């Protein structure tokens, strides 16, 4: 028996632009199309009547699911501090609590990112040795896939934070990309040692000199991300967020330019029909739904953020990220890497203050 | 007579991967293809015999050019501090000196970026009211073009720096994009007031509350750059550099994916032939050569950096940026905007120390 058999995933059924329908359909797509995970079980947290009615015509999913009713949920524009205080019975919070209590292997939500981060951090707490959890996700590259972190959890980072991101990113890449010794790159404005901020330079030095069980490549630049020069891109949350969104925006206008070109003349239109299949196949690699599901990495528990506007296929992908990480026990891997070296300790003081 | 008639541009003939050939060919393409600037004159700084021989078969260019011989040049990997000390007779330095002495309206170089920045700053000095000059360039967007700065001159910025970038970017956009009241956006990780670093938040407040003669839009995110939500994207040099290179890298893999798709099957190949013209036209808007020529903005003199690996067409574009900015007297416009408001003063103390 595979250890994913009987795995339970907690779902925030009320989070996201198309909740709860998209959450239920995503879960259904997941267990019907991912044979490997066909026996995964779900607990839906949210409005029982609505979820029940959505499950009506999905017998397999209904059979593998339970519903925990709550009429409360976190609004998409709610401030994290308000959500923390008032959202104790929200669908998001109850789903996170389930992970804390060991009743679920992971939680997936397409809801309010700030609230999910704050609640996950407060309830699940950072792993010993990690000062700042980071948002990490898989991204497409020319050579396949890479991991980038932090994508926005920490606006200001010091060099210790970046070093910890490198260690966590290493463990994440091993699990999600199946690479034995992932190449870790530090995002910078040039490849030379003299380039970059003091924070980046000191992180690089620590990663080079320190006793970390990782394969440190050195500096990379923005254009190296898409080229797939490294398997893990380490950066602060401000730069990572801007880089991710800039890449998404650029890919979107490229794809729109192609579509516009095919509509611009009869010849081009016919050309487009002939090349359609090949282009679709080529651009499928860039489909954002395939990369949906960012983890809030570095907590004692797996908390996955789905894009709020994704569809069932995208949500199913986020569930897959949750299952892969739970099945491979990502957090044990991170703890193991942290225990090999020393000097990566965290202070739990003022954790609440920091969260708020 | 147009005030570009008889305008003299100083060219660092020895800078760039394909120097001096690319520099000479770029200048030739410029005066033969840009009718508006057909009378612009050049002074080539560099190896006289090599430049002479390149000019041999270009009678028009030869007629409008002079050569100032020097056998010294700044190597592409030379440290800026070394270039400053030892490069006093280099082609780059002599070309910058010509602008300082009023013998040329602008200088264009495809050489070592760090050295060009350091030398330009030392020789031309920042404009009163500007603490930190910034690298600015035109970028393609869905709606046309935008300006982004800083692209890498200043790794760490404070809020005053960002405010000054906004003022300079405004003047630059008016000249280069011909927009009367350019929309100025501050790059951030979200649109809400609560998002971002303290530096970004305080710059936003100053731009909102302060008495600046600019059209401040507010925060934008990475994906808004390519969408063309604003005309000027203001950010620190670290983030701007990463965003620019990330966009370039992403556009490159998109264009390579298209080419690969057309080669993947006979149908797609025929489709590609039929759609070729339309696709070329569509993607021409993204051709990096059309955006070549970044200015080191905020100095008493126009210093333009061409990409080191560009071709004659790209170099001709960099010359065009120089001519447009000189013809429209960009620096007077910046000074005018600075004089309208107060509180944007600079300290010239420790300038050399800062440069080195």
What is the average per-residue pLDDT within A245-256?
Answer: 90
In B, minimum Cα distance to A153 occurs at B189
Partner residue opposite A222 with nearest CB, options B245, B260, B273: B245
Q: Please indicate whether, in this complex, the C-beta atoms of A261 and B278 are within 8 angstroms of each other.
A: yes
Cα–Cα distance between B268 and A277 in angstroms, integer?
Answer: 8
Q: Please indicate whether, in this complex, the C-beta atoms of B271 and A267 are within 8 angstroms of each other.
A: no
Cα–Cα distance between A325 and A304 in angstroms, integer?
Answer: 10
Q: What is the DSSP string of B31-48?
A: HHH-GGGTT-EEEEEE-H
Q: Are B323 and B315 in contact (CB under 8 A)?
A: no
User: Where does B1-128 have alpha helices with state H?
Assistant: 21-33, 48-55, 59-63, 80-86, 91-100, 113-124
- Burial class, A57, CB count within 10 angstroms (exposed 0-12 / middle 13-18 / buried 19+): exposed
Q: Do β-strands A8-12 and A41-46 pair in parallel, antiparallel, or remain unpaired?
A: parallel
Q: Are B165 and B190 in contact (CB under 8 A)?
A: no
Q: Are B98 and B314 in contact (CB under 8 A)?
A: no
Q: Are A40 and A64 in contact (CB under 8 A)?
A: yes
Q: How far is CA B242 from CA A216, A285, A325, in A?
A: 20, 23, 29
Cα–Cα distance between A32 and A34 in angstroms, integer?
Answer: 6
Instruction: Give the pLDDT band of residue B189 (cuts 50, 70, 90).
Output: very high
B197-214 as b/e: b if 16+ CB within 10 A: bebbbbbbebbeebebeb
Query: Which residue did the predictor score with more confidence, A123 or A289?
Result: A123
Q: Identify from A158, A242, A269, A307 which residue to disrupt to test chain B contact, counting B C-beta atoms within 10 A and taking the largest count.
A: A242
The residues, ordered by sequence, that sit 6+ positions from B167 with a Cβ below 8 Å of its Cβ are B212, B214, B334, B337, B338, B344
The residues, ordered by sequence, that sit 6+ positions from A254 with a Cβ below 8 Å of its Cβ are B250, B251, B254, B255, B286
| Beta bridge partners of residue A42, listed in sequence order | A9, A65
Contacts of A156 in chain B (CB under 8 A): 197-198
pLDDT at B340: 67
| Beta bridge partners of residue A45, listed in sequence order | A12, A68
- Where does chain A hold its CATH 3.40.718.10 domain(s)? 1-130+298-330+346-356, 132-288
Looking at CA atoms only, how far is residue A115 from chain B in angstroms?
14
Looking at CA atoms only, how far is residue B276 from chain A in angstroms?
7
Q: CA dihedral defined by B15, B17, B18, B19, rounded to 10 degrees?
A: 20
Q: Are A31 and A66 in contact (CB under 8 A)?
A: no
pLDDT at A341: 59
pLDDT digit string (tens) for B89-133?
Answer: 999 999 999 999 999 999 999 999 999 999 999 999 999 889 999
Cα–Cα distance between B91 and B68 in angstroms, integer?
Answer: 9
φ, ψ at B256 (rounded to 5°): -70, -35
- Where does chain B hold its CATH 3.40.718.10 domain(s)? 1-127+298-329+347-356, 131-294
Q: Is any Cβ of chain A less than 8 angstroms from the Cβ of B260?
A: yes
Q: Please indicate whether, in this complex, the C-beta atoms of A281 and B273 are within 8 angstroms of each other.
A: no
Q: Which CATH superfamily is domain B131-294 in?
A: Isopropylmalate Dehydrogenase (3.40.718.10)
Cα–Cα distance between B117 and B316 in angstroms, integer?
Answer: 20
What is the average per-residue pLDDT within B189-218?
Answer: 90
Is the pLDDT assigned to residue B223 strictly greater than 80? Answer: yes
Angle between helices B21-33 and B48-55 (to 10 degrees): 40
CA A50 to chain centre: 27
Looking at CA atoms only, how far is residue B39 from chain A in angstroms?
37
* Nearest residue to B273 via CA among A254, A272, A263: A272
Q: Identify from B238, B244, B252 which residue to disrupt to test chain A contact, counting A C-beta atoms within 10 A and taking the largest count.
A: B238
Q: Are B17 and B7 in contact (CB under 8 A)?
A: no
Instruction: Give the pLDDT band of residue A239 (cuts 50, 70, 90).
Output: very high
- CATH class name, domain B1-127+298-329+347-356: alpha beta
Phi-psi region of B183 (alpha: psi -120 to 50; beta: other; left: phi over 0): beta
Is the pLDDT assigned to residue B139 strictly greater than 50? Answer: yes
Instruction: Give the pLDDT band of residue B3 (cuts 50, 70, 90).
Output: low
- Burial class, A66, CB count within 10 angstroms (exposed 0-12 / middle 13-18 / buried 19+): exposed
Cα–Cα distance between A231 and A143 in angstroms, integer?
Answer: 10
Q: Are A266 and B243 in contact (CB under 8 A)?
A: no
Q: Please indicate whether, in this complex, the C-beta atoms of A278 and B267 are within 8 angstroms of each other.
A: yes
pLDDT at B265: 86
Residue A356 token pair: 């708020």
pLDDT digit string (tens) for A10-62?
Answer: 999 999 999 999 999 999 999 999 999 999 999 999 999 999 999 999 999 99
Does this model's pTM top 0.95? no
Cα–Cα distance between B1 and A44 in angstroms, integer?
Answer: 76
CA angle at B330 for the pair B325 and B331, rounded to the nearest 5°: 130
- CATH 3.40.718.10 is right for the domain spanning A1-130+298-330+346-356: yes
Is the pLDDT assigned to residue B44 strictly greater than 50? Answer: yes
Is the pLDDT assigned to residue B169 strictly greater than 70? Answer: yes
What is the average per-residue pLDDT within B242-270?
Answer: 88
CA angle at A320 for the pair A338 and A103, rounded to the nearest 5°: 70
Is the pLDDT assigned to residue A230 strictly greater than 50? Answer: yes
CATH, domain range A132-288: 3.40.718.10
Q: How is the beta sheet containing A65-69 ordered, strand by strand?
A: A65-69, A41-46, A8-12, A106-109, A302-305, A294-297, A134-141, A144-149, A232-234, A183-187, A215-220
pLDDT digit string (tens) for B287-337?
Answer: 888 899 999 999 999 999 999 989 999 999 999 999 999 999 999 999 888
């Amino acid at each position: 028996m595979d250890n994913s058999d009987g795995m339970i995933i907690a779902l925030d059924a009320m989070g996201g632009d198309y909740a709860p329908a998209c959450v239920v359909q995503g879960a259904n797509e997941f267990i019907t199309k991912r044979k490997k995970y066909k026996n995964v079980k779900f607990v839906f947290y949210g409005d029982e009547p609505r979820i029940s009615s959505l499950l009506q015509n999905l017998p397999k999913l209904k059979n593998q699911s339970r519903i925990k009713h709550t009429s409360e949920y976190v609004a998409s524009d709610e401030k994290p501090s308000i959500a923390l205080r008032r959202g104790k019975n929200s669908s998001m919070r109850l789903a996170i609590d389930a992970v804390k209590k060991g009743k679920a292997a992971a939680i997936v939500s397409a809801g309010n990112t700030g609230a999910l981060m704050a609640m996950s951090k407060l309830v699940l707490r950072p792993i010993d040795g990690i000062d700042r959890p980071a948002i990490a996700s898989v991204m497409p590259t020319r050579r396949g896939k890479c991991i980038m972190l932090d994508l926005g959890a920490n606006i200001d980072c010091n060099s210790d934070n970046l070093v910890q991101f490198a260690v966590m990113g290493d463990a994440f890449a091993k699990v999600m990309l199946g690479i034995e010794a992932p190449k870790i790159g530090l995002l910078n404005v040039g490849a030379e040692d003299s380039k970059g901020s003091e924070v980046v330079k000191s992180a690089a030095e620590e990663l080079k000199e320190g006793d970390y069980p990782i394969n440190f490549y050195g500096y990379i630049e923005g254009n190296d991300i898409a080229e797939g020069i490294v398997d893990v891109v380490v950066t602060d949350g401000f730069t990572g967020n801007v880089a991710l969104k800039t890449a998404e925006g650029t890919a979107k206008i490229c794809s729109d330019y192609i579509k516009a070109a095919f509509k611009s003349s009869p010849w081009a239109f016919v050309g487009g029909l002939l090349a359609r299949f090949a282009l679709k196949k080529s651009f499928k690699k860039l489909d954002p739904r395939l990369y949906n599901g960012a983890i809030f990495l570095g907590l004692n528990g797996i908390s996955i953020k789905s894009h709020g506007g994704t569809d069932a296929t995208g949500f199913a992908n986020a569930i897959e990220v949750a299952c892969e990480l739970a099945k491979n026990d990502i957090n044990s891997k991170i703890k193991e890497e942290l225990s090999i070296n020393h000097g990566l300790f965290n202070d739990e003081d003022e954790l609440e203050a920091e969260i708020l």
